[in-house]
Amino acid sequence: MSEEQIIQEENKTKKGKEFEAIVNIYSSFNNTLVHVTDMSGKTITKVTGGMVTKHNRLKANPTIGMFISKKIAETVKDTGIKSLYIRIRAETGSTSPGPGANSLVKSLSREGFKIVNILETTRIPRGGPKVGGGRRGRRV
């Protein structure tokens, strides 16, 4: 067998397996950060809004979210990953994730990935730090 035939057989066996990955999305109203790991937690790729655009005001934009997902799809498809678990996280104490998260998930599904699960992992403050002030309260 020649080397080309051996490589083709290896590619056939790789296509039979479907690998999974976890996409951690942190979306605030100022920026969008995406961190893709395999199931054991090893980093595959990490892309932020600042890596896609140089305008500070656009880093949390839905359009930038689409560009982030295209960048991720290029690197993730090379590793043979077909299905994704998505974890969306917003700022602690905020009511909803930033504007880039929703468009990012949509465009990842359009890229051809199977989305297995979407989990919202925003941290909830319980009590928090002591309120400033004193006997007369905080004077604003």
Residue 118 has pLDDT above 80, yes or no: yes
pLDDT band, very low/low/confident/very high, at 128 (cuts 50, 70, 90): confident
Residue 46 has pLDDT above 80, yes or no: yes
pLDDT average, residue stretch 103-132: 90
Topology at the third CATH level for domain 24-120: Nucleotidyltransferase; domain 5 (3.30.420)
**Over pLDDT 70: what percentage of the chain?**
89
The contacts of residue 32 (CB under 8 Å, 6+ apart) are: 25, 26, 48, 49, 59, 60, 64, 65, 68, 98, 100, 101, 104
Mean pLDDT of the chain: 86
Helix (H) or strand (E) holding 129: none
Helix (H) or strand (E) holding 124: none
The pLDDT, as a whole number, for residue 133 is: 84
pLDDT band, very low/low/confident/very high, at 7 (cuts 50, 70, 90): low
In this structure, what are the phi and psi dihedrals at residue 7, rounded to the nearest 5 degrees?
A: -65, -40
Helix then strand then coil, % of the chain, to nearest 5: 35, 25, 35
d(CA 128, CA 14): 49
Q: Does the reported pTM lie above 0.85? A: no
The pLDDT, as a whole number, for residue 4 is: 57
Q: Give pLDDT tens digits for 49-101.
A: 999 998 888 888 899 999 999 999 999 999 999 999 999 999 988 888 988 89
The pLDDT, as a whole number, for residue 56 is: 87
